[in-house]
A and B are shown apart, each in its own frame.
Chain A
Amino acid sequence: GQNIDQPTEMTATEGAIVQINCTYQTSGFNGLFWYQQHAGEAPTFLSYNVLDGLEEKGRFSSFLSRSKGYSYLLLKELQMKDSASYLCASMDSNYQLIWGAGTKLIIKP
């Protein structure tokens, strides 16, 4: 079956660094997406990885290892506004997104 695993909740301190892990098992693979969703709002796109390695975009970076079925989202210099849920999704061979349940990130001052 198809499965995406990510932690349910994480807590971090303002100004620190946090890494949110995601493991995936999908029928085929056409890339890995990360989205951010603030409470009561729409998910918004953060990153897309299809090749192994690290993609950096400002304070956010995303890493992919296809051989391990593993990705992580790295958030640096955390700000209070980064408190949100972070959704990992793998695109399968039919180009459908298979979603994780999301990681709720709580930032403390």
Chain B
Amino acid sequence: ETGVTQTPRHLVMGMTNKKSLKCEQHLGHNAMYWYKQSAKKPLELMFVYSLEERVENNSVPSRFSPECPNSSHLFLHLHTLQPEDSALYLCASSQDFQRGGHEQFFGPGTRLTVL
């Protein structure tokens, strides 16, 4: 595997379910990100981890819970979601956080549908 991978690619869940999204980066990067992408809206940064420490949490509802067990893996745990949470969830990584010029590498995303 190369780059950034995400599983599952598609997920349909009910509002009472609990599920987790997984992201893995094979680039040796120190920073990882979760984004939400809704149709015709800008990417919304949800969480940032740098060297496994959470450094940003942009007012995200508590029904989204991130976990970063090591610098290569990032999870997003989901519970009691709402239909408006349906979106594409993208994971990204970059060499470092808080350094200019370092592009972010994105995974293919998980298309989440909440019924």
Q: Which residues on A are within 8 Å of B, measured CB to CB? A: 4, 8, 30-31, 33, 41-45, 48, 50, 87, 89, 91, 94-102
| CB pair B100 A95 closer than 8 Å | yes
Known: A97-B45, A99-B42. A42 touches B104 (CB 8 A): no
Known: A4-B42, A99-B42. A42 touches B101 (CB 8 A): no
Task: Tell me how far the C-beta of B23 lies from the nearest C-beta in chain A, rounded to whole angstroms.
Answer: 11
Question: Could you pull out 11 A-B pairs where Cβ atoms are within 8 angstroms?
Answer: A8-B40, A42-B106, A45-B105, A48-B101, A48-B103, A95-B99, A96-B56, A100-B42, A101-B40, A101-B42, A102-B42
A-B contact count (CB 8 A): 47
- Chain A residues with CB under 8 Å of B103's CB are 33, 45, 48
- B2 is an interface residue with CB less than 8 A from chain A: no
Number of interface residues of B (CB under 8 A): 21
Which applies to chain A's interface (DSSP): helix, strand, loop or mixed? loop
For the complex, give the distance between the alpha carbons of A98 and B35 in Å.
Answer: 12
Name which residue of chain A comes closest to B105, CB basis. A45
For the complex, give the distance between the alpha carbons of A50 and B101 in Å.
Answer: 8
Known: A31-B101, A94-B98. A42 touches B108 (CB 8 A): yes
Task: Tell me how far the C-beta of B4 lies from the nearest C-beta in chain A, rounded to whole angstroms.
Answer: 7
Task: Tell me how far the C-beta of A19 lies from the nearest C-beta in chain B, rounded to whole angstroms.
Answer: 21
Task: Tell me how far the C-beta of A15 lies from the nearest C-beta in chain B, rounded to whole angstroms.
Answer: 29
